[in-house]
Amino acid sequence: MKDFKVKDAERWIDHWSKIYGQTTVFAVIFGVLLLFLAVDIWANCRLSKRAGYPGPMGVLSFIPCGAYFFWFGLAFWRWPNQKSG
């Protein structure tokens, strides 16, 4: 009878350690991805401010395909902070 309880406890510990281990790995990966996303949005907002455009224009990088419009726009539009002349 005692051996049966030990096996149950081992199964229970093994089951929950796998679940918490997978959850921890997922949380770490998700946190790193959120950090990269935040740095990307911050950098694009700062870049658009320096180019003379509104800062929130950098949030376009958050939208799928919006980053392409943002970068091509910066590459080919006339920048408001450039003096013509």
Distance between CA atoms of 61 and 74, rounded to whole angstroms? 13
Calculate the CA 82 to chain-centre distance.
32
Of all residues in the chain, the percent with pLDDT exceeding 90 is 13
| Total number of domains constituting the chain | 1
Length of the chain: 85
Could you tell me the pTM of the whole model? Answer: 0.63
Distance between CA atoms of 64 and 78, rounded to whole angstroms? 24
Distance between CA atoms of 52 and 55, rounded to whole angstroms? 8
Check: CB of residue 12 under 8 Å from CB of residue 26.
Answer: no
28: domain range? 2-76
Mean pLDDT of 20-31: 84
The answer to the question of residue 81 being in a domain is: no
What's the pLDDT at 30? 93
Mean pLDDT of 49-75: 84
- Position 65 confidence tier, pLDDT thresholds 50, 70, 90: confident
